[in-house]
């Protein structure tokens, strides 16, 4: 990960709710948001891999290999 940062504007109420929820789970709201974004992007990559795998399998079926 890089040491460069960006600022993001979030609703105050949402931040307060997240801070109450994260008590004892994450040190800061930024740590929670970073974790969530990493999980989302990791899961998205997995989904694309599954879609690609299904496409390859379908192509192999169409060619009579499966």
With respect to residue 39, please indicate whether it lies within any of the assigned structural domains.
yes
Indicate the pTM of the whole model: 0.57
| Tokens found for residue 24 | 């004892």
CA distance 18 to 10: 11
CA distance 61 to 66: 5
The range of the structural domain enclosing residue 20 comes to 12-62
- Tell me the mean pLDDT in the region 25-43: 86
Q: What are phi and psi of 4, to 5 degrees?
A: -80, 145
Packing angle between helix 29-62 and helix 12-22, nearest 10 degrees?
Answer: 90
With respect to residue 33, please indicate whether it lies within any of the assigned structural domains.
yes
Residue 46 has pLDDT above 80, yes or no: no
Give, as one character, the DSSP assignment of residue 64.
T
User: What's the total number of domains in the chain?
Assistant: 1
With respect to residue 57, please indicate whether it lies within any of the assigned structural domains.
yes
With respect to residue 44, please indicate whether it lies within any of the assigned structural domains.
yes
């Amino acid at each position: 990960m890089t040491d460069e940062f960006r600022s993001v504007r979030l609703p105050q109420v949402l931040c307060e709710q997240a801070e109450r929820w994260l008590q004892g789970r994450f040190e800061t709201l930024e740590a929670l948001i970073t974790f969530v974004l990493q999980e989302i992007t990791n899961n998205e990559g997995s989904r694309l891999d599954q879609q690609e795998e299904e496409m390859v399998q379908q192509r192999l079926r169409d060619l009579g290999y499966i």
